[in-house]
Amino acid sequence: MAHPNGSLDPLPAEALKALTEIEARPKLMLVDPESKDAVGFTHFDSAGSHDNLVTVLMTREDLLQLASQTLVRIKSREDKRSYLGVIVRGPFAEPDAVSASSTMAIGVVSQGKKIAFTFDYHGRAEVEILGEETAGGKLVPPGRRPRPKSPVFLLGEKESAAVLGMAGDLCLGMVSGYDQMEARLNPRDKSILPRHTGIIGTTGGGKSTTVATLIHRAQAAGIATIVFDVEGEYTHVDEPTDHAAMLEALERRGQKAEGVKELHIHHLTGRDSRNPDHDNLHGFSLNFSSLSPYAIAEILNLSEAQQERFHKAYDVTKLLLEDFEIFPRPRSEEDRQRMLDVDELTTGYPQMTLQHLLDVVSAYLYSLSDEGKGEGRSRSRSPSKRKGASEESSDPDEGSDGVFEDPTPRGPRMLSEFGRNVGRVMARVHAQSSKNEISWKALAGKLHQLRRLKIFDVATAPGVDHDSMLTPGRVSVIDLSDTDSPQLNNLVIADILRGLQETQEARYQRASAGGKPVTPVLIILEEAHEFLSASRISQMPVLFEQVARIAKRGRKRWLGLVFVTQLPQHLPNEVLGLLNNFIIHKITDSSVISRMQRTVGSIDAGLWERVSQLAPGQAIVSFSNFTRPLMVAVDPAPVKRQLVD
């Protein structure tokens, strides 16, 4: 207190103590001019801190400038280092004075109707360090962490797009957290689409819309697109969408409804298409000669005994094709070379039909019947018959054209060219005799089931024209909606995949020799779990090896596969291991999320936490050109889809 004479009373002890404490507090440093543009500052590390993650604090005003997935630059002043990072958690709002979980904070907020007072608050966000910036502007793996109180600056969208790798003509949608940034990729970059993609999510999450959008974008980019469509959902994609919600979403994106150009629909002969009036509708059959005998044995689920007899009949059929001069043709060096080049793990024997094989199986059944056994004993007693059955002896019934002719046919009725000389067929069968009539009857039953499908070697419906499917910008939909048989679908998919791979291989070789680019190809397999489930792969290892071979060779030949499934838990690790790109929609099953998280290592834990909460159309997108996986609002499909319940 001041006295009239100017003297002062000493300060009370309590006041002196308070001033002493204030004096002892850390001095606030003046902020340099550059920091006025900072949106936050790095926090101190704690015992719960994680490598590659730093906490950033900001004022309530700056909190509004940041959003999840936005990119920031951290300038560590103490050691003069610069880092780029992305917000992976938050921003969250926290009270300044007390803990958010304190009784006082809870009481103030919950009693908002009665209490006008509230605490001031600040923002907090977790930032994942993408890398350290070098003097030359490159981003390298960080070896250190930013120091505490390093200023954090928001990157503009243009610079952020460059850092995240958002470049190219093919747009998938909008990156969440940004107003204008689009998730883009270069469809002509061999390191992207040919590295194979998985589109995964539960029903209603937006997978089909993503597929339809991808078809539209790929066609516009000049990519040859083939879709294996088990529901016929994409048989109208050449028409603009008329779905009200999709039209509204397109308008919000400033896009218009439009169908793809040059749609061709292929369906199995004898089966209907969901678009039966389409101008470019093609019925097709399968060539039995193009199917690997090992794949057929797997698809028919033959027992070990049945497989042994199947391969015996297959080998005898090959000999008879040469006997009857069907293949290889006499004096044809080209046919001889083709015969030597046949790899029966990937394809069948040229010119062999299902009926040829059935005739041989019928001959074996006849040889095991009482009548056939009696005829066999009769043949064994006749020297001329034994001579006629010898491969190295000339047959007196051989015609001038080299084809065996039997004027008195015996044995079973044969419906192929083999019926011209049943005796010759029986001679081959007796030369490679077999027992166990029960196994032969079971094999015959399964082969007759194949024949009753009426899809093999149909003269009025040729096989698929693989070369035309690979026309730039053409969309080919393989409509399997009327098959009602996963086994039949697997036959079709395996056969067409092999044909496409062989055709693309030849086109790639020609293009390389001529110094020209080859047309990129995108093959989309809907309901991939039906074709490549763990149980099917264990039952059909040869079929899976074919797909794996196509996937591996396709990466270099501009042939990309897209596996679409709502049941990723049925896809084995061998299949997921073929994929480098992922579009993951909502998944609600926590066990499936955990399994996918262990398998797909490129997606961080923060994004996996969001998978179960994704809205329809939202997806976690991870492509090889992206710096990191991102949450994306996939663009609405401008094409018409057949909405399937």
Minimum mean pLDDT range among 14-28, 334-348, 367-381 = 14-28
Who has greater pLDDT, 389 or 121? 121
pLDDT of residue 6: 52
Average pLDDT over residues 559-582: 85
pLDDT for 528 beyond 50:
yes
Minimum mean pLDDT range among 10-24, 202-216, 218-232, 406-420 = 10-24
Average pLDDT over residues 266-290: 93
- Residue 236 covered by a domain: yes
pLDDT of residue 228: 95
Do 239 and 196 belong together in one domain?
yes
pLDDT of residue 539: 67
Average pLDDT over residues 35-64: 88
Which tens digits make up the pLDDT trace of 402-435? 444 444 446 788 999 999 999 999 999 999 988 8
pLDDT for 360 beyond 60:
yes
Average pLDDT over residues 357-385: 77
Residue 218's contacts (CB-CB under 8 Å, 6 or more residues apart) are: 170, 187, 225, 522
- Residue 387 covered by a domain: no
Do 244 and 206 belong together in one domain?
yes
Do 56 and 113 belong together in one domain?
yes
Encode 520-553 in three state secondary structure: CEEEEECCHHHHHCHHHHHHCHHHHHHHHHHHHH
Looking at the structure of the chain, the number of domains it has is 3
Average pLDDT over residues 268-294: 92
Do 423 and 469 belong together in one domain?
no
Top-ranked range on mean pLDDT: pick from 58-67, 115-124, 473-482: 473-482
In single-letter form, the type of residue at position 114 comes to K
pLDDT-based confidence at residue 453 (cuts at 50, 70, 90): confident
Do 609 and 475 belong together in one domain?
yes
Contact 441, 311 (CB under 8 A): no
pLDDT of residue 520: 94
pLDDT for 394 beyond 50:
no
Who has greater pLDDT, 640 or 165? 640
Which tens digits make up the pLDDT trace of 214-226? 999 999 999 999 9
Average pLDDT over residues 328-349: 90
Question: In CATH, what number is assigned to the domain containing residue 56?
Answer: 2.40.30
Average pLDDT over residues 349-359: 96
pLDDT of residue 404: 45
Instruction: Give the Cβ contact number of residue 254 at 10 Å.
Output: 6
Do 205 and 348 belong together in one domain?
no
Average pLDDT over residues 8-24: 61
- Give the C-alpha distances (Å, rounded to integers) separating 463 from 8, 84, 295, 492, 495: 110, 55, 19, 11, 10
pLDDT-based confidence at residue 24 (cuts at 50, 70, 90): low
Average pLDDT over residues 430-448: 93
- Cα 199 to chain centroid, rounded: 6
Residue 453's contacts (CB-CB under 8 Å, 6 or more residues apart) are: 488
pLDDT for 321 beyond 80:
yes
Do 297 and 272 belong together in one domain?
no
- Give the C-alpha distances (Å, rounded to integers) separating 467 from 209, 256, 279, 474, 482: 28, 32, 19, 11, 25
pLDDT-based confidence at residue 391 (cuts at 50, 70, 90): very low
Find the domain containing 586 and state its range.
170-177+189-285+461-634
Who has greater pLDDT, 132 or 402? 132
pLDDT of residue 104: 77
Question: In CATH, what number is assigned to the domain containing residue 522?
Answer: 3.40.50.300
* Mean pLDDT computed over every residue of the chain: 85
- Give the C-alpha distances (Å, rounded to integers) separating 265 from 213, 283, 445: 18, 9, 33
pLDDT of residue 644: 53
pLDDT-based confidence at residue 285 (cuts at 50, 70, 90): very high
pLDDT for 487 beyond 70:
yes
Do 215 and 291 belong together in one domain?
no
pLDDT-based confidence at residue 377 (cuts at 50, 70, 90): low
pLDDT of residue 407: 47
- Residue 379 covered by a domain: no
The predicted model scores a pTM of 0.81
pLDDT for 438 beyond 90:
yes
Who has greater pLDDT, 314 or 377? 314
Minimum mean pLDDT range among 249-253, 285-289, 452-456, 488-492 = 488-492
Do 519 and 623 belong together in one domain?
yes
Average pLDDT over residues 58-66: 88
Average pLDDT over residues 84-107: 85
Do 293 and 281 belong together in one domain?
no
Using a pLDDT cut of 90, give the percent of the chain over it: 46
pLDDT for 30 beyond 80:
no
Average pLDDT over residues 32-42: 82
3-class SS of residue 475: strand
Backbone phi, psi, residue 393, to 5°:
-100, 150
Sign of CA dihedral 131, 134, 139, 141: negative
pLDDT of residue 25: 60
Contact 356, 317 (CB under 8 A): yes
Which tens digits make up the pLDDT trace of 596-619? 888 887 788 888 889 999 999 999
3-class SS of residue 39: coil
Do 303 and 438 belong together in one domain?
yes
Do 436 and 353 belong together in one domain?
yes
Domain end: 432, 457, 482, which one? 457
pLDDT for 245 beyond 80:
yes
pLDDT for 172 beyond 90:
yes
- Residue 75 covered by a domain: yes
